[in-house]
Structure 1
Amino acid sequence: MVAGLLPAAISYISKLIVDAVVFASQVHSQSNGFVNIYPSLSYVGLEAIAVILLAGSQRGITICQSLLRALMGQRVNVLILEKALTLDLRQFEDSEFYDKLTNARREASVRPLSLVNRTFGLVQNALSLFTYGILLVNFSGWAVVVLILAAMPVFISETKFAGEGFRLFSWRAAETRQQHYLENLLAREDFVTEVKLYQLGEMLLGRYRNLFDQLYGEDRDLTLRRGFWGYLLGLVSTGAFYLAYAWIVLETVLGKISLGDMTMYLTVFRQGQSTFSNALTSIGGMYEDNLYLSNLYDFLEEEVPKSWGKATIGLNPQDGIRFENVSFTYPGNSKPALTNISLHLKPKEKLAIVGENGSGKTTLIKLLTRLYTPDSGRIFLDGLDLQEWDVDVLRRRIGVIFQNFVRYQFTVGENIGVGDVEHLESKNRWQTAAEKGMAQSFIDQLPQSFQTQLGRWFKGGQELSGGQWQKIALSRAFMRSQADILVLDEPTSAIDAQAEFEIFNHFRAITQNQMVLLISHRFSTVRMADKILVIENGEVIEQGTHEELLQLGGRYAKLFLLQAAGYQ
């Protein structure tokens, strides 16, 4: 408000200074005597105070904007991340959803702040225009009309091009994600080894440049058109100012207004024109900001999957896990990932699932952990439909290690601790889980044991071998000491056969009271299971014990003999 009101006051004080100086000069030339210079100097002092206050208010606005930028950018990013936590895995595997997320995040920390700043700027400009209008009306109402009309063409042009720019921005989300992906391939440590060995650098950089050239070409065309029309229509405002300039000068020459009035009106008209143009720019900018914020609103209004289950205990704890004619097809796919899957795993039983890659083994685990919902059929835990369970209670009962487990750039202890976030910092649990996962021996040899930073992203980080990482992930699954279901998806694929055999002998001994679902390609381990399920093309084709399946002489027996032959 202060910054909005003071400019007109300064213009008026400038008029008083000029008029006081002119009056004092006339008195001095007529009397050749004493001249009272105090009115002129007092006005100068008054203007100096006003300028100091204006500078202080503008500096205050800058400080507030700087602080607000940090707070608001953080708030909006937290809103996006909080929303992401509520969404389903299905949405994260959808490319259109990623486009929506990319559009929301690209301008998330800029547009909300811009909208707020422009809103306050509009209030400030409105106050300035109101005071300028009062001063200009004393000269002529037509001057106010000219002031308003002169700024309109630029406003219309900018608003039109803002809409075009937004449409261009929205259409290119996929290309922008491709650019970011190529940057990651060229600059991330987990990709750099293969990029160098396969000499992919120049090819990837070429693609990056081609994408930039494509996007730059569109941006350049829009920028040139926007600049050309902005300049052309800006000449209208310039012409209007000099028309008003000539008018005010003429009125001064004819003696209708004083020299001080001329100085004030010229200042007011120029500043008023600039202020009105800024006000219209703020309105156009607010329109543009709202266009971009519509992407944020679309993301924040993304439908959240309903999780209506509230149950915390089952109807029959002795029933274990039961699949009844479960079928599932991934969104966007025509071929089912699973078809009419039926199985029963009783408490304390160990079930091994075998099959070729793409046969649906991991999909079955995703359904059990409620990352997806079956299209048909039902899954029961303790005699209660999985959909009726409270999803947080359900997942606390399950310890999982997926084949593509995350290698967190955290300390060793935290890498294990994430298996049970409620006990993330529990050193006793870290140690117990590491012993169960057979990771304790190499952890003791690390520079700071459980406090050793893993990965190369941060200072002092240590890199582990693939087998050591898998033991860390296996330990992570054991963090949930209350979990009565363990799910292991290829948990030892990076570990040699002898170490794997030892791990599973140890593993069977420490999981006597837990249900275990094990996915593995190595038949030396799956034969330890109480029951083996053979899946092919999303269907169960065989199930039974290792001996039963060998006697059957079907798919399992063939795969087992092929693998056994490789060791002879």
Structure 2
Amino acid sequence: MIVDAVVFASQVNSQSNGFVNIYPSLSYVGLEAIAVILLAGSQRGIIICQSLLRALMGQRVNVLILEKALTLDLRQFEDSEFYDKLTNARREASVRPLSLVNRTFGLVQNALSLFTYGILLVNFSGWAVVVLILAAMPVFISETKFAGEGFRLFSWRAAETRQQHYLENLLAREDFVTEVKLYQLGGMLLGRYRNLFDQLYGEDRDLTLRRGLWGYLLGLVSTGAFYLAYAWIVLETVLGKISLGDMTMYLTVFRQGQSTFSSALTSIGGMYEDNLYLSNLYDFLEEEVPTSWGKATIGLNPQDGIRFENVSFTYPGSSKPALTNISLHLKPREKLAIVGENGSGKTTLIKLLTRLYTPDSGRIFLDGLDLQEWDVDVLRRRIGVIFQNFVRYQFTVGENIGVGDVEHLENKTRWQTAAEKGMAQSFIDQLPQSFQTQLGRWFKGGQELSGGQWQKIALSRAFMRSQADILVLDEPTSAIDAQAEFEIFNHFRAITQNQMVLLISHRFSTVRMADKILVIENGEVIEQGTHEELLEVGGRYAKLFLLQAAGYQ
């Protein structure tokens, strides 16, 4: 309209040499300016919406993943294939959902544009619409094919990607850097990191080059179609069948129509690609959740304590049983020590008791009721536990202790009581801000503790559950010297008189304090009894005790 108005005004001016009415041309320019202002406003609005949606949707999807992770079993977290599935889900979780939403709205936008372009082009020729459609198809087919290849490459490489991230952590985390420097591992680890990158980059490069080359060659088809249409429209203008303004409009519409149709097909291909990647997220979210049918909150016989009857268990993927026909009985207020070499099954026994795993055969009873019939949350509230590989939270001292009972996480009175029971109060008082001192080096002002101090924090954590009548201590004092350990367990016997205690330790000076000692070897109970009874038998326990005692003479 602008072009035709200008041409018409020029013709009138050349013929009349008088007043020229320029208002039609300027009014069209004004209308276009208004349209451009509205367009700029809508585009800015889209950018704002996308920015806000990116944050909200990324958070929502990550929360879905974390909520799902909380429902899964320990067995799944110890499966490397499950970790690959989790890695694939998390890597694209914050990007692909938003991309799918954007492409969907983009496709609607392009469809509206194509509808109006199509109406205009049909007025010129229906064949122009056919050329427009056919010209964009080769690039669409090529992009869709390479999107599928890229996704398969992404899925296959989950293990290598995890290994690469692990090497990054080894080189950059404060809890690894000391050993990396002392053993001079930096060069070797960096070399492995580079080799992994070279391998992954080589695969990406080959795919990118093939994708780019085919995209260029097939894009020439679209370019050729445009210039064929260009020549056709110019010829029609020269022959006087359409005006100069019509020619300008049709060239613009064909070019924009071609770009819009290509963009629409790209959106469809992108949605296909996004859905491929989101299938990893769907697979993870549909991971089977272990059923916990137990609902009991009290037992049948509170005086029966803990009982294992012929319990056997084998870890997934292992052919060797971790435990075989384990039978034991721990009465209320009794203390049981479990002795055995590393890998003999001691920690596995504790994991079965705390319902982190379910026995393959046999049964475990608490208060005369099968463990599987207990409500798992009620069961775990009755247990205070410290594992040898306890977590060193980058929290304050009080929070590090408070996590032992999350319902009383901020209860300062309980912090102090638990710290006194765990014999951590003396060094906590010497810290800059006592219980409010930040621990670890990850955050500003953090204080690092010694290994023994960390273990006392973990011991205190186990005492946070003041209502717990079962205390499980798995190598709780391995970083503490023998004399301090002896004092701690003398203290423990006094403050745990009303609790059942299961203690795993390699130090026999501590073990001998227990009411009953269980000796495990290769997943089987080979001896059980009191310290004196086992020494009289002269078996495995007696041999290990005498060997250790000789070391102190």
Q: Normalising by structure 2, what TM-score? A: 1.00
Which deviations, in whole Å up to 9, do the C-alpha atoms of 1:175-203 show, x marking residues without a partner?
Answer: 00000000010000111011000000000
- Matched residue SS, 2:473: strand
Q: State the alpha-carbon separation in 2 of the partners of residues 117 and 484 from structure 1.
A: 55
Which position in structure 2 is the counterpart of 1:334? 319
Q: State the alpha-carbon separation in 2 of the partners of residues 318 and 116 from structure 1.
A: 60
Q: State the alpha-carbon separation in 1 of the partners of residues 29 and 313 from structure 2.
A: 82
Deviation at 1:297, TM superposition (A): 0.4
Which position in structure 2 is the counterpart of 1:266? 251
Deviation at 1:405, TM superposition (A): 0.2
Q: State the alpha-carbon separation in 2 of the partners of residues 70 and 558 from structure 1.
A: 63
- Matched residue SS, 2:415: helix
Which deviations, in whole Å up to 9, do the C-alpha atoms of 1:391-417 show, x marking residues without a partner?
Answer: 000000000000000000000000000
- Matched residue SS, 1:220: helix
Correspondence list, 1:148-167, <5 A: 148-167=133-152
- Matched residue SS, 1:459: coil
Question: Residue 542 of structure 2: which of 557, 560, 566 is its match?
Answer: 557
Q: State the alpha-carbon separation in 1 of the partners of residues 404 and 351 from structure 2.
A: 17
- Matched residue SS, 1:341: strand
Which deviations, in whole Å up to 9, do the C-alpha atoms of 1:46-77 show, x marking residues without a partner?
Answer: 11000110111111111111111111011001
How many residues are paired up? Answer: 553
- Matched residue SS, 1:409: coil
Q: State the alpha-carbon separation in 1 of the partners of residues 206 and 13 from structure 2.
A: 63
Deviation at 1:488, TM superposition (A): 0.1
The answer for unaligned runs of 5 or more in structure 2 is: none
- Matched residue SS, 2:324: strand
Q: State the alpha-carbon separation in 2 of the partners of residues 22 and 451 from structure 1.
A: 81
- Matched residue SS, 2:307: strand
Q: State the alpha-carbon separation in 1 of the partners of residues 390 and 279 from structure 2.
A: 35
Q: State the alpha-carbon separation in 1 of the partners of residues 11 and 347 from structure 2.
A: 97
The answer for unaligned runs of 5 or more in structure 1 is: 1-15
Deviation at 1:528, TM superposition (A): 0.5
Q: State the alpha-carbon separation in 2 of the partners of residues 45 and 522 from structure 1.
A: 90
Query: What's the % identity of the aligned pairs?
Result: 98
Which position in structure 2 is the counterpart of 1:4? none
Q: State the alpha-carbon separation in 1 of the partners of residues 24 and 204 from structure 2.
A: 57
- Matched residue SS, 2:328: strand
Query: RMSD value over aligned CA atoms?
Result: 0.5
Q: State the alpha-carbon separation in 1 of the partners of residues 237 and 55 from structure 2.
A: 51
- Matched residue SS, 1:373: coil
Which deviations, in whole Å up to 9, do the C-alpha atoms of 1:115-145 show, x marking residues without a partner?
Answer: 0000000000000000111111111111011
Which position in structure 2 is the counterpart of 1:473? 458
Q: State the alpha-carbon separation in 2 of the partners of residues 65 and 147 from structure 1.
A: 30
Deviation at 1:102, TM superposition (A): 0.5
Which deviations, in whole Å up to 9, do the C-alpha atoms of 1:16-57 show, x marking residues without a partner?
Answer: 111111111111111111111111111110110001101111
- Matched residue SS, 2:124: coil
Which deviations, in whole Å up to 9, do the C-alpha atoms of 1:503-528 show, x marking residues without a partner?
Answer: 00110000000000000000000111
Q: State the alpha-carbon separation in 2 of the partners of residues 67 and 142 from structure 1.
A: 43
- Matched residue SS, 2:144: helix
Deviation at 1:337, TM superposition (A): 0.2
Which deviations, in whole Å up to 9, do the C-alpha atoms of 1:260-281 show, x marking residues without a partner?
Answer: 1011101100000000000000
- Matched residue SS, 2:343: coil
Deviation at 1:540, TM superposition (A): 0.3
Which position in structure 2 is the counterpart of 1:116? 101
Q: State the alpha-carbon separation in 1 of the partners of residues 260 and 411 from structure 2.
A: 61
Q: State the alpha-carbon separation in 2 of the partners of residues 202 and 105 from structure 1.
A: 30
Deviation at 1:429, TM superposition (A): 0.4
Deviation at 1:390, TM superposition (A): 0.5
Which position in structure 2 is the counterpart of 1:454? 439
Q: State the alpha-carbon separation in 2 of the partners of residues 138 and 60 from structure 1.
A: 34
Instruction: Confirm whether residue 343 of structure 1 aligns to residue 328 of structure 2.
Output: yes
Deviation at 1:485, TM superposition (A): 0.2
Which position in structure 2 is the counterpart of 1:13? none
Q: State the alpha-carbon separation in 2 of the partners of residues 212 and 167 from structure 1.
A: 18
- Matched residue SS, 1:356: coil
Q: Which runs of 4+ in 1 moved over 2 A?
A: none
Q: State the alpha-carbon separation in 1 of the partners of residues 267 and 460 from structure 2.
A: 57
Instruction: Confirm whether residue 417 of structure 1 aligns to residue 402 of structure 2.
Output: yes
Deviation at 1:538, TM superposition (A): 0.2
Q: State the alpha-carbon separation in 2 of the partners of residues 62 and 434 from structure 1.
A: 52
Q: Which moved more, 1:29-38 or 1:353-362?
A: 29-38
Q: State the alpha-carbon separation in 2 of the partners of residues 69 and 269 from structure 1.
A: 34
- Matched residue SS, 1:138: helix
Question: Residue 307 of structure 1: which of 292, 297, 318 is its match?
Answer: 292
Which deviations, in whole Å up to 9, do the C-alpha atoms of 1:359-390 show, x marking residues without a partner?
Answer: 00000000000000000000000000000000
- Matched residue SS, 1:105: helix
Correspondence list, 1:290-301, <5 A: 290-301=275-286
Which position in structure 1 is the counterpart of 2:521? 536
Instruction: Confirm whether residue 104 of structure 1 aligns to residue 89 of structure 2.
Output: yes
Q: State the alpha-carbon separation in 2 of the partners of residues 225 and 447 from structure 1.
A: 61
- Matched residue SS, 2:503: strand
Deviation at 1:541, TM superposition (A): 0.4
Instruction: Confirm whether residue 62 of structure 1 aligns to residue 47 of structure 2.
Output: yes
Q: State the alpha-carbon separation in 2 of the partners of residues 290 and 48 from structure 1.
A: 39
Deviation at 1:495, TM superposition (A): 0.4
Which deviations, in whole Å up to 9, do the C-alpha atoms of 1:335-361 show, x marking residues without a partner?
Answer: 000000000000000000000000000
Q: State the alpha-carbon separation in 1 of the partners of residues 48 and 215 from structure 2.
A: 31
- Matched residue SS, 1:90: helix
Which deviations, in whole Å up to 9, do the C-alpha atoms of 1:164-221 show, x marking residues without a partner?
Answer: 0000000000000000000010000111011000000000000000011111111110
Which deviations, in whole Å up to 9, do the C-alpha atoms of 1:298-351 show, x marking residues without a partner?
Answer: 000000000010111101101000000000000000000000000000000000
- Matched residue SS, 1:463: coil
Which position in structure 2 is the counterpart of 1:7? none
Correspondence list, 1:72-221, <5 A: 72-221=57-206
Q: State the alpha-carbon separation in 2 of the partners of residues 100 and 483 from structure 1.
A: 37
Q: Normalising by structure 1, what TM-score? A: 0.97
Q: State the alpha-carbon separation in 2 of the partners of residues 275 and 78 from structure 1.
A: 36
Q: State the alpha-carbon separation in 1 of the partners of residues 80 and 238 from structure 2.
A: 70
- Matched residue SS, 1:343: strand
Q: State the alpha-carbon separation in 1 of the partners of residues 169 and 18 from structure 2.
A: 82
